[in-house]
A and B are shown apart, each in its own frame.
Chain A
Amino acid sequence: GQNIDQPTEMTATEGAIVQINCTYQTSGFNGLFWYQQHAGEAPTFLSYNVLDGLEEKGRFSSFLSRSKGYSYLLLKELQMKDSASYLCAVSNTGGFKTIFGAGTRLFVKA
């Protein structure tokens, strides 16, 4: 089966750096996604990792270790608008099914 774990909530300060962790167990692996979702809105794509290592995209970076079943999303220079839920999602072999974690709700305070 598939299982994805991420913290329920995190709080960080504007301008700081925050790391959101995700661990997963999956039967077959075809990549890991991070999405951002503001309350009541649709998720939007942030990053995709299929090989081990760090992918950097502006203020956001995502890391993957396939052997450890572990990923993290790093957000730098936090802004108030970064307050949202961050969803870790794993695509299984063949990519036919993408399973989402419950999401980490990030609160950015002034």
Chain B
Amino acid sequence: DSGVTQTPKHLITATGQRVTLRCSPRSGDLSVYWYQQSLDQGLQFLIQYYNGEERAKGNILERFSAQQFPDLHSELNLSSLELGDSALYFCASSAVSGTGNEQFFGPGTRLTVL
């Protein structure tokens, strides 16, 4: 158990819908990262937050947005869902930003868009 929690574990929805994925980092970690992993593909970096502020952006679609709240939990919002958005979405946390600190990954949310 990495100490990072993600809810829900599974999510099935329809095209055009909007969903919110939630992540709670390890106690004391200030950085939160979001990744997308499609079937048989590598981890695609989406976005990183540090202590409530956006720090880095990857290839995140405009239909996707995220935020980190004062209690450090983070949410990833996916809207106007398409079939291609079906994937595993991982959240990870690390102690600080801007160093080589390892990231601890949550168990992921499996999103299925029908």
Contact = CB atoms under 8 A, between A and B. Distances in A.
Given A100-B43, A100-B45, A101-B42, A94 B105 contact: no
A87 B102 contact: no
B100 A96 contact: no
B107 to A, nearest CB: 5
Nearest to A49: B100
Q: How large is the interface on B (under 10, 10 to 19, 20 to 34, 35 or more residues)?
A: 20 to 34
A98 B90 CA distance: 14
B58 interface: yes
Interface string B15-59: 000000000000000000101000001111100100000011010
B48 A97 contact: yes
Interface in A61-109: 87, 89, 91, 94-103
Interface of B: 2, 33, 35, 41-45, 48, 55-56, 58, 88, 90, 97-108
25 contacts: A30-B99, A33-B102, A33-B103, A40-B88, A41-B107, A42-B90, A42-B107, A43-B105, A45-B104, A48-B100, A48-B102, A50-B100, A95-B98, A95-B101, A96-B48, A96-B55, A96-B56, A96-B98, A97-B48, A97-B56, A98-B45, A100-B42, A100-B44, A101-B42, A103-B42
Interface of A: 30-31, 33, 40-45, 48, 50, 87, 89, 91, 94-103
